[in-house]
Amino acid sequence: MLFHVRMDVHLPHDLPPTEAAEILAREKAYSQELQHSGKWRHIWRLAGQYANYSIFDVRDNEELHAILSGLPLFKFMDIEVAPLLRHPSSIRDSDA
95: DSSP letter: -
Smallest distance, its own copies to C-beta of residue 14, A: 8
Cα distance between residue 67 and residue 59, in whole Å: 11
- Total residues at the site for its own copies (CB under 8 A)? 50
45 near its own copies (CB under 8 A): yes
31 near its own copies (CB under 8 A): yes
The alpha carbon torsion through 82, 49, 77, 36 (nearest 10 deg) reads 70
11 near its own copies (CB under 8 A): yes
- Residue 70's identity, in one-letter code, is G
Residue in 16, 39, 83, 93 binding its own copies, rule: CB under 8 A: 83
- What's the distance, Cα to Cα, between the start and end of the chain in Å? 9
Q: Do 79 and 64 meet the contact criterion of CB atoms below 8 Å apart?
A: no
Site residues (CB under 8 A) for its own copies? 1-5, 11-13, 27-28, 31-32, 35-36, 42-50, 52-53, 55, 60-62, 64-65, 68-69, 75-76, 79-92, 95
